């Protein structure tokens, strides 16, 4: 049987993509971010707790 050698071992990593969404509150103007945020337009600001509608200027997939 072939002996397992560290030198011949192929190290295989993995990558994945995350969509990180940046929000700016329309009330207090502070920022927060959510990785892979669910598609929706209405969010509560974690800073001032104001519910608001967000307009996505970068892509059209929220419409």
Residues that bind Zn ion (CB under 5 A): 25, 27-28, 45, 47-48
Q: How far is the CB of 32 from Zn ion (least distance, A)?
A: 9
Residue 19 vs 24, nearer CB to Zn ion: 24
Tokens describing residue 58 = 């970068």
Helix (H, G, I), strand (E, B) or coil at 49: coil
Residue 13 vs 33, nearer CB to Zn ion: 33
What's the rounded Cα separation, in Å, for the pair 29 and 24? 6
Residue 49 vs 62, nearer CB to Zn ion: 49
Q: How far is the CB of 58 from Zn ion (least distance, A)?
A: 20
Nearest in space to 30 (alpha carbons), one of 50, 16, 14, 5: 50
């Amino acid at each position: 049987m072939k002996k397992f050698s560290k030198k011949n071992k192929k190290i295989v990593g993995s990558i994945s993509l995350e969509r990180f969404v940046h929000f700016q509150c329309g009330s207090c103007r502070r920022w927060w971010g959510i990785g892979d945020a669910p598609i929706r337009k209405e969010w509560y600001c974690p800073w001032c707790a104001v519910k608001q509608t967000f307009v996505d200027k970068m892509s059209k997939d929220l419409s």
